[in-house]
Amino acid sequence: MDRNRLADETSPYLRQHKDNPVHWQAWGPEALAAARDQDKPILLSVGYAACHWCHVMAHESFEDPEIAKLMNEYFINIKVDREERPDVDNIYQHALAMMGEHGGWPLTMFLTPAGEPFWGGTYFPPTPRYGRPGFPQVLESLADTYKNEPTKITDNAGRMRKALTALSVPSGGGQLSAAMIDDAATHMLRHVDPIAGGTHGAPKFPQGTFFSTLWRAYVRTGGSMFRESVALTMNNICQGGIYDHLGGGIARYSVDGEWLVPHFEKMLYDNAQFVDLLSQMYPTTNSTLYAERVSETVAWLLSDMRSATDGPFAFVSAYDADSEGEEGKYYVWRAEEIADCLGEDAPRFSAAYDVSPYGNWEGKTILNRSADPDYGDPTLEPLLAHCRETLLARRATRVPPERDDKVLADWNGLTITALVRAAAVFDRPDWLNVAREVFDFILKNLSSGARLHHTWCQGRAAHPGVLTDYAEMSRAALALYQSTDDATYLDHATTWTDAANKYFWDATNGGYFLSAVDTEDLLTRTKPVQDDATPAGNGTMADVLARLHHLTGDPAYREHAERLTTALAATELGHLVHQPGLVSAFEVLTRAVQVVVAGEGPAAGALVQTALSTAHPRLILQRTDDQRALPETHPAAGKATIKGQAAAYLCIGQSCTLPITDPNDLKSQLLAAQ
């Protein structure tokens, strides 16, 4: 372990550190064995390629020969890409929280040779500042304690190990009900900023699962507060500086409380959820703004996030916040540059996009339309569109941020699901074709029998799939099945769900572990139940199980979903608000909006397309004809065409409507379905 071994890794983040003088190793049996053999503590550094402060710490400390000398002398140094190994990151983020520290990246943890954490933090400066000790002092102090006061280390590590083991059995036991999920949604409103949207304070994250659940509450109850809270949030994201008004797509979060100043990295998972929620909202709102932002963001995905410009592709992970060593440099503008690019059109553009001589952030301008009263003016918008194209062409001459070009199965599953919904809502069959193509790429490159890999990069699949891979790819398969009526997608969903049940399910306590039973390099197997920037795998799996039950009639799926919900649902509303995915899945299980279209031909196709275009969040769509029957337990079993004319039946619970033959009638009834 006397050299840096990251050059052969697939992770772009790890390869960013291949030339550090630190003797970095990737997480795995070899590095862990070296710590045991040499009786050295482990210095674990976790980050990701688009992380600004990860770059800062790398430049300040990991590229410094004197600091690297200390690291190499006293520690086995292990570098982890948190997107590549979310199971490793999850364990040690929890450990840091148990130490009373705020989590985040870079995560800097110190472990015993057995992988037990005994101390940690996030970013450490090279000299004392920001109220934090200098990194060299941290290294020397911990190395001295490890050598001369080993009982301090073993006592602390023992307590942490015991606490972390409890993560495999999170407290739950809640019995969800319709009244309880309504109460949970109302409780969620307390967290919403009534002025700017999002949740209270700064920084502000898009929180797709949280606000999607509030939108579902509006659909379910008709409550105007739910609708207004989500609309306020999405309007401000769409118009704020967190949105890239030239290239499309949103940044990971806003550092302020008004959505103006983004932390400029752009992540695939945020944009997938952004597209998905706007698509859910559009049929009710008919918002031109939402339609434009979906179209622009999908265009950005297809132009900038493809893994290959020609041939089969999936979507890559992220774009960095920095370019030329400066955060946001690629995206911000000076007023004189706007004037030079746009000439006589500059004043009108500047008025719309908050451009001023002094800027709105560190003397520069982050383009936004948060205060634009003329948005949607048909006499102005064509001019502004032309200006945006001109500025985008100028921006393309700048040095772009680095791109993290690894493909993740779960984030692509999220994106496939979003594209399928958007394709139906906005009548874009080309987007549906993209979703199918991406699905085929994952199937070909990240699937091996019933098992999934988590990552693909540089032509290689790596790392065993985690729960979210199986959950999101199964949900994507069900979305494609519903839109295409291709039964092979249903087969994939059942295969991956069976694999999740075999390798991830906790037969003793219920719920799914994040890592598979045959993952051998972890201190413990955690069982995430709370949604954060991405949906928790247990909530998504509950949704998949509920949908499979309705589609197949197999009671085993329902029983599994019920046991999962009972095992993991929080018993207190204050905790349940952090499990919106589980709440939404329970709603699908108990109150699915099922549409059955009987018949064939163009008339049946029109009814199918109409049902899909409403984007009802609890929609379960099936077709039936003379050759294909519904499950015997389906409330519409036995329903048929009306004198040979295609007909739709809308069922909630065990009650179904009379046959509907007019697509407009079906649309109005679906939009009103609670």
Domain harbouring 636, CATH code: 3.40.30
Mean pLDDT, residues 193-206 taken together:
96
Mean pLDDT, residues 313-332 taken together:
95
Which distant-in-sequence residues (6+ apart) come within 8 Å of 74 by Cβ? 40, 41, 139, 140, 142, 143, 146
Q: How much is the pLDDT for 402?
A: 94
Q: In the chain, how many domains are there?
A: 3
Domain holding 98: CATH number?
3.40.30.10
The whole-chain average pLDDT of the chain stands at 95
- The answer to whether residue 369 sits within a structural domain is yes
pLDDT band at 562 (very low <50, low <70, confident <90, very high): very high
**How far is it, in rounded angstroms, from Cα 339 to Cα 626?**
67
**How far is it, in rounded angstroms, from Cα 454 to Cα 406?**
10
Q: Please name the amino acid found at residue 668.
A: S
For residue range 355-366, what is the model confidence (pLDDT) as tens digits?
Answer: 999 999 999 999
Task: Label residues 617-643 b or e (16+ Cβ within 10 Å = b).
Answer: bbbbbbbbeeeeebeeebbbeebebee
Q: Is the pLDDT of residue 171 over 80?
A: no
Domain of 371, in residue numbers = 331-397
Q: How many CA atoms lie within 13 A of 56 on its CB side?
A: 15
**pLDDT-above-70 percentage for the chain:** 100
Count of CB atoms situated within 10 Å of the CB of 133: 14
Q: How much is the pLDDT for 472?
A: 98
Q: Is the pLDDT of residue 1 over 70?
A: no
Q: How much is the pLDDT for 263?
A: 92
Q: Is the pLDDT of residue 121 over 80?
A: yes
- The answer to whether residue 264 sits within a structural domain is no
Q: Is the pLDDT of residue 172 over 80?
A: no
- Domain termination site, one of 371, 397, 423: 397
pLDDT band at 537 (very low <50, low <70, confident <90, very high): very high
- The answer to whether residue 17 sits within a structural domain is yes
Q: Is the pLDDT of residue 233 over 70?
A: yes
Which of the 8 DSSP states describes residue 254? E
Task: Label residues 89-113 b or e (16+ Cβ within 10 Å = b).
Answer: bbbbbbbbebbeeeebbbbbbbbbb
Q: Is the pLDDT of residue 586 over 90?
A: yes
Which of the 8 DSSP states describes residue 343? G
Mean pLDDT, residues 340-362 taken together:
96
Task: Label residues 19-29 b or e (16+ Cβ within 10 Å = b).
Answer: ebbbbbbbbee
CA nearest neighbour of 472 among 549, 539, 550: 539
- Domain termination site, one of 378, 397, 416: 397
**How far is it, in rounded angstroms, from Cα 227 to Cα 215?**
6
- The answer to whether residue 514 sits within a structural domain is no
pLDDT band at 638 (very low <50, low <70, confident <90, very high): confident
pLDDT band at 163 (very low <50, low <70, confident <90, very high): confident
- The answer to whether residue 88 sits within a structural domain is yes
Which of the 8 DSSP states describes residue 134? -
- The answer to whether residue 182 sits within a structural domain is no
- The answer to whether residue 252 sits within a structural domain is no
Which of the 8 DSSP states describes residue 657? P
- What are the φ and ψ backbone dihedral angles of 403, each rounded to 5 degrees? -110, 130
pLDDT band at 464 (very low <50, low <70, confident <90, very high): very high
User: Do 327 and 321 form a contact (C-beta atoms < 8 A)?
Assistant: yes
**How far is it, in rounded angstroms, from Cα 598 to Cα 595?**
10
Q: Which of helix, strand or coil describes residue 569?
A: coil
Mean pLDDT, residues 302-327 taken together:
94
- Domain termination site, one of 381, 397, 413: 397
Q: Is the pLDDT of residue 574 over 90?
A: no
- The answer to whether residue 625 sits within a structural domain is yes
